[in-house]
Amino acid sequence: MKLLIIMPWKPKTGGIKKWLEGVTHEFNKLGHKTYIFSPYDLPNPYKKILFLLYNFEPFYKRLGIIWEFIVKTIMYVPLALFLVLNYDFLISFYPPDSLIFQFFTKIFAKRNISIVHQARNITVTKYSHYLWKKHYDSAYMVVAMSEDVKKEVSKIYDIDRKKIKVIYNGIELDQIKRFKKIEKLNGDPAILYVGRLEYIKGPDILIDAFNLVLKNLPNAHLHIVGDGTMREELEKKTVILNIDKNVKFYGYVIPPYSHMKSADILVIPSRYDAMPNVTLEAMACNIPIIASDVGGLKNIIIEGKNGLKAEPTLDGMASAIIRLWTNKLLIKNIKEFQKEFIKKFTWEKSVQEYIKVIGSIG
């Protein structure tokens, strides 16, 4: 089977990059052929012309995603026609890149699915919402990465829930096992954050919560792995709160598994998150997790079993950290439960689910 995957950008980090690597590797291992189409990988001058038109400011400022749709539809026609004819199955993520490909799959009786990493409530204009709904309506099946995302995409875009299948991401368990601990991270406890430093991920919530934690656990240290637009603001905040000696920023560490294995607690303070891979990776590294009770996190975290759930607030996160660190039996039980629980989440099992979905729609 030849699979065509439409990727509107070139992911460098994060869940989408890991999905692409994990899924394509497993499909290829099973003898299938995968091809990732991205405008960023097109040859010049084709790519230059595409981006010049797409970013033409007078039109893009006024029309936004509609202008992007017009440009990409026109530019993609010959490429989409050729690729759809030469591949058996289409997997797409986002409009408008997907729409011309989906159009040709209908004409040539090919099949396609849409992957929902995170349901996007784009209601700034009726046009953008229409394009997203059209994208999901054009798919024979929609695959969501968590139960919460399934509910959300069904509600926002009025998609029949029977059309939506949940397939969780996987992880490379054997690869993670090969990583060793680095020298023990400072802190009693050593608290770890891994992720982008962006508002939706809630690193500011964690720093405020950590300031409160220090009043009860004065030897605690916070280790922040990741980068983003909030980094400078967060560094200044630690100085203002006079906790900078207990907080260390590392920037991106890829992969972060040695840090995970050397910390005592991993905290995911997201304001919203569909299904962050860091959750599964932390369990594979056998580190107790405290995660916001939002999105896909509330589906994957079983309270008191493989981690703790908390409200993404200063008090919610701080009390969960203190509660966990002062209950050694709870920590021990969480670590034991994680060892078996995480075995269900491999890319091999994930791809087998995708193959079932593909088979079910012919």
**DSSP label at 328?**
H
In this structure, how many other beta carbons lie within 10 angstroms of the beta carbon of residue 184? 10
Give the C-alpha separation, 48 to 277, whole Å.
34
Q: Which amino acid is at 272?
A: Y
pLDDT of residue 13: 66
Bridge-based pairing state of the strands 221-225 and 190-194: parallel
Laid out side by side, the sheet with 141-144 consists of: 33-37, 2-6, 89-92, 111-116, 141-144, 164-166
Give the model confidence (pLDDT) of 209-256 as tens digits: 999 999 999 999 999 999 999 999 999 999 999 999 999 999 999 889
Residue 346 is classified by DSSP as B
Residue % of the chain over a pLDDT of 90:
75
Name every residue whose Cβ is closer than 8 Å to that of residue 103 and which is 6 or more positions away in sequence. 80, 138
Residue type present at position 337: F
Q: Taking each helix axis from N to C terminus, what angle separates 203-216 and 231-240, rounded to the nearest 10 degrees?
A: 20
pTM of the model: 0.88
Residue of 269, 305, 263 lying closest to 287 (CA atoms): 263
DSSP 224-240: EEB--TTHHHHHHHHHH
In the chain the domains, ranked by start, together with CATH numbers, are 2-170+346-360 (3.40.50.2000), 173-344 (3.40.50.2000)
φ, ψ of residue 204 to 5 degrees: the values are -65, -35
Q: Are strands 33-37 and 221-225 parallel, antiparallel or unpaired?
A: unpaired
Q: Are 20 and 92 in contact (CB under 8 A)?
A: no
Question: How far is the C-alpha of 79 from the C-alpha of 71, rounded, in Å?
Answer: 14
Q: Which of 323, 198, 189, 342 is nearest to 266 (CA)?
A: 189
- Residue 212 phi/psi, 5° resolution? -75, -40
How many other CB atoms are there within 10 angstroms of residue 62's CB atom?
Answer: 9
Fill in the DSSP letter of residue 37.
Answer: E
Question: What's the pLDDT score for residue 342?
Answer: 96
Under-50 pLDDT residues of the chain: 122-123
Residue 123 confidence (pLDDT): 47
